[in-house]
Amino acid sequence: MKTDVLVVGSGIAGCAAALTAAREGADVLVVTKASEPEDANTDWAQGGIAVTQSDPESFAADVRRASDDTADPDAVDVLVSEAADVVDDILVDTLEVDFDRAGTSSSEDDDFALAREAGHSERRILHVDASTGEHILRPFLAYLSDHEGVTIRDDTAALSLLTEEGVVRGAVTLRDGEVEPVFAGTTILATGGIGACYETSTNPPGATGDGIAMAALAGADVSDMQYVQFHPTAYDPRSDPNVADADADDAPEPFLVSEAVRGEGAVLRNGEGERFMPAVHEDAELAPRDVVARAVARERDATGRVVLDVSPLDFRDEFPDLADLCDDRGVDPDDGIPVAPSEHFLCGGIDVDDCGRTTLDRLFAVGECARTGVHGANRLASTSLLEGLVWGTRAGETAAEQGRDEAREIEYVAPDDRDPALPKAFTEKKFDRLGETMDQYVGVERIPDGLRSARARIRRLKGEADAYARTRVSRSLFELRNACICSLLVARAAAESPSAGCHHLTESEEAIHADD
């Protein structure tokens, strides 16, 4: 099969790239592992999408400050300068997303109910309750499904990139057990993050780092992999006194408690009922995520639990979706919501320029799998959807120009598939071991000895996955291989890099648990 532009992934960044490329007249094929919208990270996004208000420099300053002053200033300027136009064009005018309204303003420019989250110096976040992602992604997918220039193949995994003398010519795909090469003029990776590398994550289970692993194997530059952001407030069944066994199969599922809740006044209290964030940072609960996550982890270790006290706000009225999630799990918000840090977002990834071009010819990357430089060592809240939109549109336009009528077939060797399939439990157990290793050694805080242990364990897991994948074509095996590759990249980068932002390296286990 041939196409002008191949997009791998169907989150907001992939959708933006596909839409823009189709607008430029390219024939676009989207292949995605997702079979339902909720399989994509975008659908899980709660807080919203930050937009530039009357003071763009304030927005840019907030992004840089949250990044521990490591963000690329040029990339930040691109994000901030294009935010309003791309949000208006795609989300407001094209998709007609029904963002929450203030209900009290007569001004058309000010009638959106703008939220504030940690790290933001003002209210600038568009949202739909606390489930913004699904209100963006689902109409986006429906719109693309009706677009004459776009074809979507769901439940389709990309196994590897097709290359010819350093030029990417498409990808090998797997659908319904059938392997098929897709030859493309240009290829855009939009495969999301690496949440499946960790035991505890706010990502969907399909976030196995496929794009990053495929790009790395093909020779593309990858950087800043040590910067794995942990969200400080995910519901924690392990410290919920109403949960008898948090590890049981029927234990309640964790869920993300949006940063917007703290933006509206909720506070964090330790197991002794003490509010602790004012002593940690001048912005207290609205400090950058990495600061809050480390503080929550330490207080939880020291006092047994941390809860988010939502009594300062009308929680059920302001966040009905989150209230429903609490009700589903038997959590009474009036008693405080038990929380703990959880893997949330990868700030690094495949190196790209301001148009999403990687270091390999005709290969682009957008969204969480890409390292644009916007986030540096730590991402500012509610900028991931915006980054996906801005770089998705830029990459889509550039890829269309370069890829139109340029697809051509090349010789390729189909993967070997001669041995019997493995039982499902095989990869499940390997993923469990990988997640336990990453949570234990490559989490919120890291020590050199732990990172060495992690690398040794992950190399063994990757060796097993590689050995079985040589003679079997299995989506789960390829996902395991990809997750192992990404985990190794994270652990290696963490061992070789000084602390910054969400990468916090200490010298000993005792230092991690020492009082501030």
Q: List, for residues 379-391, the tens digit of each pLDDT value.
A: 998 899 999 999 9
Q: Is the pLDDT of residue 313 over 90?
A: yes
Q: What residues does 8 pair with on adjacent strands? A: 31, 189
Least confident of 4-13, 219-228, 301-310, 320-329: 320-329
251 has a pLDDT exceeding 80:
no
Q: How many CB atoms lie within 10 A of CB 146?
A: 7
Distant-in-sequence, close-in-space partners of 314: CB < 8 Å, separation ≥ 6: none
Q: Which positions are annotated as active-site residues?
A: 289
Percent of the chain scored above 70 by pLDDT?
93
Which residues contact residue 42 at a Cβ distance below 8 angstroms, ignoring those fewer than 6 apart?
Answer: 11, 12, 133, 136, 137, 385, 388
Per residue in 145-181, pLDDT tens?
999 999 999 999 999 999 999 999 999 999 999 999 9
b/e string for 43-82 if b means 16 or more Cβ within 10 A? Answer: bbbbbbbbbbbeeeeebbebbbebbbebbbeebbbbbbeb
Own/partner contacts of 447-454, CB < 8 Å, gap of 24 or more, are 447/505, 447/506, 447/507, 447/508, 447/509, 447/511, 447/512, 448/495, 448/505, 448/507, 450/509, 451/491, 451/494, 451/495, 452/495, 454/487, 454/491
Surface-to-core class of residue 176, CB atoms within 10 Å of its CB (0-12 exposed, 13-18 middle, 19+ buried): exposed
- 300 vs 182: CA distance, rounded Å: 49
pLDDT at 336: 95
Q: β-strands 306-309, 267-270: how paired? A: antiparallel
Which residue in 89, 137, 145, 215 sits closest to 384, CA to CA? 137
User: 474 and 422 in contact (C-beta within 8 Å)?
Assistant: yes
Torsion angle, CA of 367/342/117/339, rounded to 10 degrees? 160
Predicted TM-score (pTM) of the model is: 0.93
Quick one: fold of 426-513?
Methane Monooxygenase Hydroxylase; Chain G, domain 1 (1.20.58)
Percent of the chain whose predicted confidence (pLDDT) is above 90:
77
Q: Which CATH class is domain 2-227+347-403?
A: alpha beta
Which string of DSSP letters, residue by residue, matches 201-245?
Answer: BSS-TT---HHHHHHHHHT--EE-TT-EEEEEEEE-GGG-TT-S-
- Return the domain boundaries, the chain: 2-227+347-403, 232-341, 426-513
pLDDT of 511 reads 47
Class of domain 232-341: alpha beta
Q: Which residues partner with 235 through β-bridges?
A: 339
CA 312 to the chain's CA centroid: 30
Task: Please give the average per-residue pLDDT across 302-328, as a whole number.
Answer: 94
pLDDT tens digits along 360-372: 999 999 999 999 9
CA distance linking residue 443 with residue 450, whole number of Å: 10
pLDDT given for residue 338 in this prediction: 96
**What pLDDT shows up at residue 11?**
93
CA distance 109 to 88: 11
Q: Which of 38-52, 95-109, 235-249, 359-373 has the lowest mean pLDDT?
A: 95-109
Residues in Cβ contact with 338 at an 8 Å cutoff, skipping those fewer than 6 apart: 235, 236, 237, 239, 240, 305, 306, 307, 331
Element housing 157 (H / E): strand 157-164
99 Cβ contact list (under 8 Å, min separation 6): 48, 91, 92, 112, 113, 126, 127, 128
pLDDT digits (tens, 9 = 90+) for 478-515: 999 999 999 999 999 999 999 999 999 987 554 444 43
Whether pLDDT at 106 is above 50: no
pLDDT of amino acid 516: 37
